[in-house]
Amino acid sequence: MAGLSMLWSARSIAVVGASGREGSLGRLPVEYLKRYGYSGRILPINPTATEICGLPAYPSLAAAGPVDLALIMVGADKAVAAVAECAAHGVPVAIVGASGFAEAGAPELQEQLLAARGGTRLLGPNCIGAANLTSGLVASFSPWFAGAATTLRADLFPKPAVPGPATVQGWHTGTRTPAGVALVSQSGALGFGAASLAVDRGLPLGWVVTTGNEADVTALEVLTELAAEPGCVGLLGYVESLRDGPALRRLAARGKPVALLVAGSSAAGRRAAASHTGALAGDDRVVDAALRQLGITRVADVDDLLDAGEAFAAAVRKSSPRPGRPRVADYAEPRPAGPAGAEGRAEPRRVGPARVVVVTTSGGSGILAADAVEAAGLVLAELAPGTRDTLGEIVPVFGSTENPIDVTATVMRDRTLVERCLRAVDGDPGVDAIVLCFCVLTGDDVTGIVAALGQVTKPVVVARTGAEHLAPAATTMLRGLGVASFPTPARAVRALAGALRTPANPGTGADTPATPGAGHPGAGAEAAGPANDVTPGAGGVEPVTDEWRLKEALRAAGVPVPRGHFLDSPADFDFERAVLKAVAPGLVHKTEAGGVILNVTKDTVAEAYRKIADIGRVWAEEQVDGGVEVLVGIAPSPLGRVLTIGAGGTLAELLDDVAIRLLPADPAAMLEELKIKKLFDGYRGKPALDTAALLRAVEALVGLTAGWPADVAVELNPVLIREHGVVVLDAAAVREV
- Binding to a second copy in span 117-146, by CB under 8 A: 126, 142-144, 146
Smallest distance from a second copy to CB 661, Å: 22
The gap from C-alpha 1 to its chain's centroid, in whole angstroms, comes to: 22
AA identity, residue 491: R
Can you tell me the distance from the alpha carbon of 297 to that of 664, in angstroms, rounded to the nearest whole number?
19
**Contact set for a second copy, span 175-214 (CB under 8 A):** 185-194, 196-197, 199-200
Least separation in angstroms between residue 11's CB and a second copy is 28
Residues 619-678 that bind a second copy (CB under 8 A): 650, 653-657, 675-676, 678
Q: How many residues bind a second copy (CB under 8 A)?
A: 98
Residue 169 vs 362, nearer CB to a second copy: 362
The β-bridge relationship of strands 617-622 and 578-583 is: antiparallel
Query: Least distance (Å) from a second copy to the CB of residue 27?
Result: 16
As a whole number of angstroms, the distance between CA 529 and CA 543 comes to: 26
Q: Per CB under 8 A, which of residues 148..177 are in contact with a second copy?
A: 149-150
Candidates 44, 92, 295, 366; binder of a second copy (CB under 8 A) is 366
Return the residue of 679, 689, 701, 721 that touches a second copy, per CB under 8 A: 679
Residue 522 Cβ vs a second copy, minimum distance, rounded to whole Å: 30
Q: Which of 372, 671 has the CB closer to a second copy? A: 372
Determine if 427 is a binding residue for a second copy (CB under 8 A): no
CB of 493 to a second copy, least distance (A): 10
Which residue among 375, 571, 584, 588 contacts a second copy (CB under 8 A)? Answer: 375
> Considering only 40-48, 257-265, 330-338, 508-516, which stretch makes contact with a second copy by CB under 8 A?
257-265
Q: Rule CB under 8 A: is residue 473 a binding residue for a second copy?
A: no
Span 223-252, contacts to a second copy by CB under 8 A: 238, 240
Which one of 330-338, 364-372, 453-461, 689-697 is the stretch in contact with a second copy (CB under 8 A)?
Answer: 364-372
CB atoms within 10 A of CB 90: 12
Q: Name the segment binding a second copy (CB under 8 A); options: 300-308, 507-515, 536-544, 547-555.
A: 300-308
Among 19, 99, 224, 717, binds a second copy (CB under 8 A): 99
Member of 301, 347, 576, 603 binding a second copy (CB under 8 A): 301
Are 644 and 662 in contact by the 8 Å Cβ rule? The answer is no
One-letter identity of residue 131: A
Count CB neighbours of 497 within 10 A.
24
User: Mind giving me the DSSP string for 36-59?
Assistant: TT--SEEEEE-SS-SEETTEE-BS
Q: Check if the beta carbon of residue 568 is closer than 8 Å to that of residue 700.
A: no
Q: How far is the CB of 470 from a second copy (least distance, A)?
A: 5
What stretch of H or E contains 238?
strand 232-239
Query: Does 81 help bind a second copy (rule: CB under 8 A)?
Result: no
- Decide whether 119 or 364 has the Cβ nearer to a second copy: 364
Tell me 177's DSSP state.
Answer: S
Q: Write a three-state SS string for 451-487.
A: HHHHCCCCCEEEEEECCHHHCCCHHHHHHHHCCEEEC
Shortest spacing between CB 220 and a second copy, in angstroms: 16
Q: In angstroms, what is the minimal distance from the CB of 159 to a second copy?
A: 26
Q: Could you say whether residue 50 binds a second copy (CB under 8 A)?
A: no
Q: Give me the 568-607 binding string for a second copy, x by CB under 8 A, dash otherwise.
A: ----------------------------------------
Site stretch for a second copy (CB under 8 A), options 101-109, 110-118, 510-518, 664-672:
101-109
439 or 624, CB closer to a second copy? 439
Minimum CB–partner distance for residue 400 and a second copy (Å): 6
Q: Enumerate the β-bridge partners of residue 228.
A: none
Using rule CB under 8 A, residue 267 touches a second copy? yes
Dihedral class, residue 207 (left if φ above 0, else alpha if ψ from -120 to 50, else beta): beta
**Count of CB atoms situated within 10 Å of the CB of 385:** 7
Taking CB under 8 A as the criterion, which residues in 382-421 touch a second copy?
396-398, 400, 402, 404, 406, 408-409
Nearer to a second copy, 549 or 677 (CB): 677
Q: What is the DSSP string of 319-378?
A: ----TTPPPGGG--S--------TT--SSPPP-SSPEEEEEESSHHHHHHHHHHHHHTT-
- Classify residue 664 as exposed, middle or buried by CB count within 10 Å of its CB (0-12, 13-18, 19+): buried
Kindly identify the residues of this chain, within the stretch 431-460, that bind a second copy according to CB under 8 A.
Answer: 438-440, 442
Q: What is the chain's alpha carbon radius of gyration, rounded to the nearest angstrom?
A: 30
What is the per-residue burial (b if ≥16 Cβ within 10 Å, else e) of 562-595? bebeebeebeebebeebbbbbbeeebeebeeeeb
Nearest approach in angstroms of CB 539 to a second copy is 37
x/- map, 312-351, a second copy, by CB under 8 A: ----------------------------------------
Least distance (Å) between residue 76 CB and a second copy: 9
Q: Please report how close the Cβ of residue 555 comes to a second copy at its closest, in angstroms.
A: 28
Under the criterion CB under 8 A, does residue 22 sit at the interface with a second copy? Answer: no
367 binds a second copy (CB under 8 A): yes
* Residue 314, CB-side half-sphere exposure with 13 Å CA sphere: 34
State the nearest-atom distance from the C-beta of 271 to a second copy, in Å: 8
Nearer to a second copy, 162 or 367 (CB): 367
Q: Which of 19, 120, 135, 361 binds a second copy (CB under 8 A)?
A: 361
Q: Does 276 bind a second copy (CB under 8 A)?
A: yes
Q: Is 32 in the site for a second copy (CB under 8 A)?
A: no
CB 613 within 8 A of CB 620: no
Kindly give the interhelix angle for 691-705 and 547-557, rounded to the nearest 10 degrees: 110
Question: Given strand 232-239, what is the order of strands in its sheet?
Answer: 137-140, 129-132, 205-210, 180-185, 232-239, 258-262, 297-299
Integer Cα distance of 645 and 660 in angstroms: 7
CA distances in angstroms from 114 to 19, 87, 101, listed in the order given: 26, 11, 11
Closest distance between a second copy and the C-beta of residue 383, in Å? 13
Amino acid, single-letter form, for residue 138: V
User: Out of 364, 429, 507, 687, which residue is the one contacting a second copy (CB under 8 A)?
Assistant: 364
Residue 510: C-alpha distances to residues 169, 250, 288, 346, 659 (Å): 31, 7, 18, 23, 21
Nearer to a second copy, 172 or 201 (CB): 201
Minimum CB–partner distance for residue 445 and a second copy (Å) = 9
- What is the Cα–Cα distance from 319 to 171, expressed in whole angstroms? 11
- Of 191 and 482, nearer to a second copy (C-beta) is 191
* 155, β-bridge pairs: none
Is residue 265 close enough to count as binding a second copy by CB under 8 A? yes
Q: Of all helices (H) and strands (E), which one includes residue 399?
A: none
* Binding to a second copy, residues 538-557 (CB under 8 A): none
Q: How far is the CB of 197 from a second copy (least distance, A)?
A: 6
Distance CA 289, CA 283 (A): 10
Q: Which of residues 475-494 bind a second copy (CB under 8 A)?
A: 487-491
Closer CB to a second copy, 213 or 502, in the complex: 213
**What is the dihedral sign for C-alpha 72, 78, 79, 83?**
negative
Closer residue to a second copy, CB minimum distance, 12 or 488: 488
Q: Does 371 interact with a second copy (rule: CB under 8 A)?
A: yes
CA 499/CA 451 separation, integer angstroms: 23
In the chain, count of helices (H) and strands (E)? 24, 30
CA-CA distance, 296 to 220, in Å (whole number)? 12
